[in-house]
């Protein structure tokens, strides 16, 4: 019995270590983080982070630069490259977001569908002091926001198949919205060729998104995400025109 208890304790300790190591891997980014920042992001002690990061570095899943900041290691980047289902879209996403951002000087992002969620696979940040930031890897429910509407409206998959048994959903600060109301908005999105949202996915901002196609098949949505204080009818019209045009240009180029 004593051996069983010890074995159970070791199993729990091992699972906890794996969970903590995964939290550290999730904290890695392009800019790198120092040891204390990594520990804080993973919500563990500095000593535990140091021990686990040492193991990750040894096995190539993390690397430490000359500035003592941790970044992804070769083993991790190789694994991501080999398993990245969005790899064929990365260049398209990077170039289209850069083009839209350059024209509008507003944060631009490229979204793809993952079940009932929208995932940002690339973004280009506005140079303006007050701006909305969209980070690569950000996820959100597909039924909230302009990009989600563009993905739902132009998808070959039926909305009910994507949303399942969902009948209504909450939008923070607004009344709940029904799926039937969403469907009516998606019909308008298909007619207009773009999705629009105001204070839906994030308070204090608005967004316009247009679909991007490759050989007639929807592959993603290109979106401009803009702080609320830069909203007026003239600005909205200009953002709609630019977003639709850039999305169409990259659809044709693809």
Query: What mean pLDDT, rounded, does the chain reach?
Result: 90
9: pLDDT strictly greater than 80:
no
Percent of the chain with pLDDT over 70: 95
Query: Is 174 in the same domain as 222?
Result: yes
Boundary (domain end) residue, out of 49, 83, 117 = 83
Residue whose tokens read 């009344």: 175
List the 217-227 sheet strands across, edge first: 139-141, 117-124, 107-114, 217-227, 205-214, 195-198
Give me the domain span that covers residue 103.
87-253
Query: Is 160 in the same domain as 199?
Result: yes
Lowest mean pLDDT among 54-63, 152-161, 169-178: 169-178
**Whole-structure pTM value:** 0.74
What per-residue string of b and e applies to 94-105 under the rule 16 or more CB within 10 Å gives b?
Answer: bbbbebbbebbe
What tens digit of pLDDT does each residue of 206-241 get?
A: 999 999 999 999 999 999 999 999 999 999 999 999
6: pLDDT strictly greater than 70:
no
Overall residue count recorded for the chain in this entry? 254
Boundary (domain end) residue, out of 34, 58, 83 = 83
């Amino acid at each position: 019995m004593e051996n069983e208890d010890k074995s159970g304790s070791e199993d729990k300790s091992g699972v906890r270590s794996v969970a903590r190591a995964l939290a550290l891997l999730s904290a890695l980014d392009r800019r790198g983080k120092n040891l204390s920042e990594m520990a804080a992001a993973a919500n563990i002690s500095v000593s535990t982070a140091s021990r686990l990061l040492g193991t990750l570095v040894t096995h190539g899943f993390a690397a430490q630069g000359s500035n003592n900041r941790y970044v992804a290691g070769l083993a991790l980047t190789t694994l991501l490259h080999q398993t990245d289902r969005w790899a064929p879209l990365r260049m398209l996403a990077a170039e289209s977001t850069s083009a839209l951002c350059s024209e509008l000087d507003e944060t631009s992002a490229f979204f793809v569908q993952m079940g009932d969620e929208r995932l940002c696979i690339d973004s280009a940040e506005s140079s303006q002091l007050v701006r909305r930031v969209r980070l690569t890897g950000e996820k959100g429910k597909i039924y909230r926001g302009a990009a989600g509407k563009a993905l739902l409206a132009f998808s070959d998959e039926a909305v009910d198949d994507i949303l399942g048994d969902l009948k209504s959903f909450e939008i923070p600060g607004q009344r709940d919205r029904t799926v039937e109301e969403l469907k009516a908005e998606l019909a308008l999105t298909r007619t207009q060729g773009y999705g629009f949202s105001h204070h839906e996915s994030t308070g204090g901002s608005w967004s316009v998104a247009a679909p991007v196609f490759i050989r007639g098949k929807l592959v993603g949505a290109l979106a401009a995400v803009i702080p609320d204080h830069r909203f007026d009818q003239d600005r909205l019209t200009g953002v709609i025109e630019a977003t639709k045009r850039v999305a169409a240009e990259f659809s044709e180029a693809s």
